[in-house]
């Protein structure tokens, strides 16, 4: 979509969808065409997503002029939020018909050549041997038909590339085919054109499979919803529904928009968004996400977000944005490719000229070898090897409820050697309960709970939620608090009914000099039992404390053991809770190292210390009060991000659900992706190097070079697609 700067109306940003951008060569053509475009400030091309993001001066340049400049390169552009006009490229069916016509004519030419030569084995193989020319007008006619059917698309792209001053793969293939015809190698020319057209068709189809992984997420939400209002129930286009409307979701239907349940009870399968393996019970007051699947009960849902703002829409947008981010290895490969292609072209020219001129060798043989070199000079497979792996990994992770913010974070995650966890809400269920209330100085239990609930009323911390839940269950009302101030890592304070109320941990009360020996004794007992104490004071007098207990997550021990097997040691707990509470949880889960009673800034110091000791460190938190530590870590992983916009925006890796087992999966996927990239690069470089040597030695033929070049692209894409199914 197009957005305009709020400071200066002349500056604009637009995102275009691009048709026909399938290789780094097309990106290079855009760079050349845009180089001297007046008013253009910056642009970046997303090859895998077929997108172009442009910043420009709206007084000097328009979106239509940008689309026109793209059209000059033979591609087609339209603003992302607009509907595209009819395609200018040949339809898929027509393209396939031309490719198969070219192939049939090529086979007919080979057969005709064999028959005219008496059916000898040499004649049957003659089409692939440069020293056995095709004979007879019928044979030549078949090869001409093959060329005529297979070359139109290549010739059109080659012409547009030449106009843009680029020697892309289409130009090189056209030169190779023309050269083969001039050398009398009709079968070679036809084979080159057919195999190149076939490989391009296969490459486009396999590449579309990678792109369709994200498009599949878009199809998770229905196009219409059943709206209930004063006029009754009616089907409405989802795009027309605004927040506040009530929609009816029948059993088995997909939920079309984010919202809150206002009536009904049901189990909802949230796997499409969060990756959770089991359905989640939903009742009035619970939130639901677009794209999730309702169970056996009907639900009335009050819509809270427009379709474009739903959690699923945000996930899709972030994954698409992550696709456009270049990984470090991708940048390195592209720099290499910019040197490789011109170097091989120069070598090809030297091969064609130097041996015949300097050594008086055969012009025919050495020009042929140069043509083979030209075919292998395009680095498409090399350039695409990294982004296609990244895209497949991002899409596969998103399907399982893991949002990774880009290739850079995948590579960093693969190198993590130590992992640190927050305790509350991360290693524990995040639903602590008040298990005991102790009074001091003659205060009543209801008064202690009521004052604490008043101060904690607006807090989102799990401990505050436990206090509020306990007050509600005990039917204890609280007066409104004023002037409430949160004290990070310690607690909160405010005024309730004219009294100054302080609620917080032991550290806060020590700093305020409010503790006594009796309080210390009580706190020591709670600490030994693994419970967290929340102290309450009124007008600088401690009136009581509440004992809070939380249980570890069921899969916690299994997840941590998997991380150790993956070589992540030590597994560290960083918590603001007391040492006793931390040790109790650590013993149940098998934590290697504990650092307790930490303030947010202390967690940052701990992360820096772990980085010095072990190298790359990941920090896992729930996003409530761990932001500084998450930012300080090499990789910040936030759990339960589906309901938190802030977590989605700030984390390097966001787990949509509170499932610890997704963390070992993320580590496995990142390492598998890096291995996949290395294998793809090895395939590309080995084939290129091998055929450069074979071409110079005169071993390789043109059709072999075509198979090696375009076949490598298909191979690396197919290899990368395996990441979509990685577990």
Report pLDDT for 324. 61
Percent of the chain past pLDDT 90, that is, above it, reads 21
Q: Looking at the predicted structure, is the pLDDT value of residue 319 above 50?
A: yes
Instruction: Give mean pLDDT, residues 395-408.
Output: 84
Report pLDDT for 26. 74
Q: In the sheet where 287-288 sits, what is the strand order?
A: 232-237, 224-229, 246-249, 299-303, 259-263, 287-288
- From CA 275, how far away is CA 290, in angstroms rounded? 14
67 and 15, same structural domain? yes
Coil, helix or strand at residue 557:
helix
CB atoms under 10 Å from CB of 601, counted, come to 13
pTM confidence score: 0.71
Report pLDDT for 685. 84
φ, ψ for residue 534 (rounded to 5)? -115, 115
228 and 139, same structural domain? no
- Residue 240 sits in a domain whose CATH number is 2.70.150.10
**Do 448 and 439 form a contact (C-beta atoms < 8 A)?**
yes
242 and 191, same structural domain? no
In a domain, 369, yes or no: no
In a domain, 87, yes or no: no
Q: Looking at the predicted structure, is the pLDDT value of residue 89 above 60?
A: no
545 and 441, same structural domain? yes
In a domain, 714, yes or no: no
In a domain, 699, yes or no: no
pLDDT in tens, 655-707: 888 889 999 999 999 999 999 999 988 888 888 888 888 888 888 777 777 77
Catalytic residues: 422
109 and 66, same structural domain? no
276 and 189, same structural domain? no
User: Which domain, by its residues, includes 257?
Assistant: 224-309
- From CA 720, how far away is CA 62, in angstroms rounded? 38
265 and 241, same structural domain? yes
Provide the pairing of β-strand 571-574 with 593-595: parallel
Q: Looking at the predicted structure, is the pLDDT value of residue 312 above 70?
A: yes
pLDDT in tens, 477-527: 888 899 999 888 788 999 998 999 999 988 899 999 998 888 888 888 887
**Do 595 and 629 form a contact (C-beta atoms < 8 A)?**
no
Q: Looking at the predicted structure, is the pLDDT value of residue 127 above 50?
A: no
193 and 145, same structural domain? yes
* Cα–Cα nearest to 662, from 396, 460, 345, 350: 396
Exposed (0-12), middle (13-18) or buried (19+): which is 308, by Cβ within 10 Å?
exposed
Q: pLDDT higher for 551 or 410?
A: 410
Coil, helix or strand at residue 222:
coil
247 and 176, same structural domain? no
- From CA 372, how far away is CA 436, in angstroms rounded? 82
In a domain, 161, yes or no: yes
Q: In the structure, what pLDDT confidence band is assigned to residue 717 with cuts at 50, 70 and 90? A: confident
- Residue 508 sits in a domain whose CATH number is 3.40.1110.10
- Domain end: 274, 309, 344, which one? 309
Provide the pairing of β-strand 617-621 with 635-638: parallel
What is residue 266's DSSP assignment?
A: E
68 and 10, same structural domain? yes
192 and 104, same structural domain? yes
- Domain end: 182, 198, 214, which one? 198
Q: How many residues does the chain have?
A: 727
In a domain, 118, yes or no: yes
φ, ψ for residue 37 (rounded to 5)? -80, 115
Coil, helix or strand at residue 165:
coil
In a domain, 560, yes or no: no
170 and 111, same structural domain? yes
In a domain, 265, yes or no: yes
- Domain end: 25, 56, 79, which one? 79
- From CA 226, how far away is CA 247, in angstroms rounded? 5
Domain count, the chain: 4
């Amino acid at each position: 979509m197009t957005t305009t700067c709020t400071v200066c109306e002349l500056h604009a940003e637009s995102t275009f969808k691009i048709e026909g951008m399938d290789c780094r060569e097309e990106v290079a053509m855009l760079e050349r065409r845009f180089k001297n475009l007046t008013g253009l400030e910056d642009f970046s091309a997303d090859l895998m997503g077929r997108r172009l993001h442009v910043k420009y001066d709206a007084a000097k340049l328009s979106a239509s002029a940008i689309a026109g400049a793209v059209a000059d390169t033979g591609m087609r552009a339209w603003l992302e939020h607009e509907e595209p006009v009819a395609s200018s490229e040949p339809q898929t069916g027509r393209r396939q018909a031309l490719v198969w016509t070219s192939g049939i004519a090529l086979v007919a030419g080979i057969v005709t050549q064999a028959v005219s030569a008496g059916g000898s084995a040499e004649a049957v193989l003659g089409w692939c041997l440069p020293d056995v020319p095709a004979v007879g007008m019928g044979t030549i006619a078949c090869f001409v038909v093959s060329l005529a059917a297979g070359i139109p698309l290549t010739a059109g792209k080659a012409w547009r590339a030449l106009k843009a001053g680029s020697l892309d793969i289409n130009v090189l293939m056209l030169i190779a085919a023309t050269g083969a015809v001039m050398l009398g190698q009709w079968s070679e020319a036809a084979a080159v054109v057919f195999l190149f057209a076939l490989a391009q068709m296969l490459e486009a189809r396999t590449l579309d499979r990678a792109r369709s992984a994200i498009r599949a997420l878009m199809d998770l939400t229905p196009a219409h919803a059943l709206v209930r209002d004063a006029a009754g129930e009616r089907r409405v286009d989802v795009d027309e529904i605004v927040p506040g409307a009530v929609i009816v979701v029948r059993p088995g239907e997909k939920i079309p928009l984010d919202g809150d349940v206002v009536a009904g009870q049901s189990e909802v399968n949230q796997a499409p968004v969060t990756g959770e393996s089991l359905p989640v019970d939903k009742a009035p007051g619970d939130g639901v996400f677009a794209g999730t699947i309702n169970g056996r009960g009907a639900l009335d849902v009050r819509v809270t977000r427009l379709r474009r703002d739903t959690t699923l829409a945000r996930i899709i947008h972030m994954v698409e944005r992550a696709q456009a981010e270049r990984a470090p290895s991708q940048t390195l490969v592209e720099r290499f490719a910019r040197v490789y292609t011109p170097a091989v072209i120069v070598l090809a020219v030297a091969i064609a000229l130097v041996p015949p001129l300097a050594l008086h060798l055969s012009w025919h043989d050495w020009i042929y070898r140069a043509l083979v070199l030209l075919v292998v000079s395009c680095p498409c497979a090399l350039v695409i090897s990294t982004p296609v792996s990244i895209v497949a990994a991002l899409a596969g992770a998103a399907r399982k409820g893991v949002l990774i913010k880009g290739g850079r974070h995948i590579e960093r995650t693969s190198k993590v050697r130590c992992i640190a966890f927050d305790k509350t809400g991360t290693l524990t269920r995040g639903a602590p309960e008040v298990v005991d209330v102790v009074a001091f100085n003659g205060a009543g239990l209801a008064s202690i709970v009521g004052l604490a609930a008043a101060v904690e009323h607006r807090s989102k911390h799990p401990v505050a939620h436990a206090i509020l839940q306990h007050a509600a269950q005990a039917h204890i009302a609280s007066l409104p608090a004023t002037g409430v101030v949160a004290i990070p890592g310690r607690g909160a304070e405010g005024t309730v009914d004219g009294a100054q109320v302080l609620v917080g941990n032991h550290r806060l009360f020590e700093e305020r000099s409010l503790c006594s020996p009796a309080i210390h004794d009580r706190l020591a007992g709670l600490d030994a039992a693994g419970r967290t104490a929340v102290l309450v004071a009124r007008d600088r007098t401690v009136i009581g404390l509440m004992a809070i207990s939380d249980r570890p997550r069921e899969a916690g021990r299994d997840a941590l053991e998997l991380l150790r097997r993956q070589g992540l040691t030590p597994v560290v707990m960083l918590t603001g809770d007391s040492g006793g509470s931390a040790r109790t949880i650590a013993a149940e889960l098998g934590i290697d190292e504990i650092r307790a009673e930490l303030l947010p800034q202390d967690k940052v110091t701990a992360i820096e210390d772990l980085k010095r000791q072990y190298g790359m460190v990941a920090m896992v938190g729930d996003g409530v009060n761990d932001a500084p530590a998450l930012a300080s870590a090499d990789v910040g992983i936030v759990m339960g991000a589906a309901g938190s916009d802030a977590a989605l925006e700030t984390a390097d890796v966001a787990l949509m659900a509170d499932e610890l087992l997704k963390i070992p999966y993320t580590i496995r996927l990142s390492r598998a992706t890096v291995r996949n990239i290395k294998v793809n690069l090895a395939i590309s470089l080995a084939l290129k190097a091998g055929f450069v040597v074979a071409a110079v030695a005169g071993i390789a033929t043109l059709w072999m070079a075509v198979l090696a070049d375009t076949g490598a692209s298909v191979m690396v894409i197919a290899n990368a697609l395996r990441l979509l199914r990685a577990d």
